[in-house]
Amino acid sequence: MYIDTLKTMDQLVESGMNDKQAKTLVSIFSELIQSQFGLLATKEDLAKTSNECKAEILEVKMEIKTINSEIKTIKWILGIFAAIVIGSMIQQNLMH
């Protein structure tokens, strides 16, 4: 937020306030505005945060894809292992 200090001072002086009082009052208002509104997020801040979030989301999606492919591999391995175990059990039963 912005305050035109010179214009505001002129308005206060024109309304009957002396220069010193007007200057002090404008200085107080200016400091108040800077302290209260100086920390607000700008559009650039929001855009930067948005881009950072999108990048992190993309990383998580890539990690999920990697984990999914690892799970598929583990399923195949377990399937092959189960087939070997079942085959061995059948072979044992046929031999006895």
Structure tokens at 82: 């189960």
> What is the predicted pLDDT for the residue at 1?
61
> What is the predicted pLDDT for the residue at 36?
77
> What is the predicted pLDDT for the residue at 35?
80
For CA atoms 67, 72, 73, 77, the dihedral sign is positive
Distance CA 60, CA 63 (A): 5
> What is the predicted pLDDT for the residue at 96?
66
Domain ranges of the chain: 1-40, 44-96
DSSP 22-53: HHHHHHHHHHHHHHHHTTSPPHHHHHHHHHHH
Structure tokens at 10: 């002129």
pLDDT per residue as tens, the chain (96 positions): 667 888 998 999 999 999 999 999 999 988 888 887 777 888 999 999 999 999 999 999 999 999 999 999 999 999 999 999 999 998 888 776
Q: Are 41 and 66 in contact (CB under 8 A)?
A: no
Single pTM value for the model: 0.50
Distance CA 78, CA 91 (A): 20
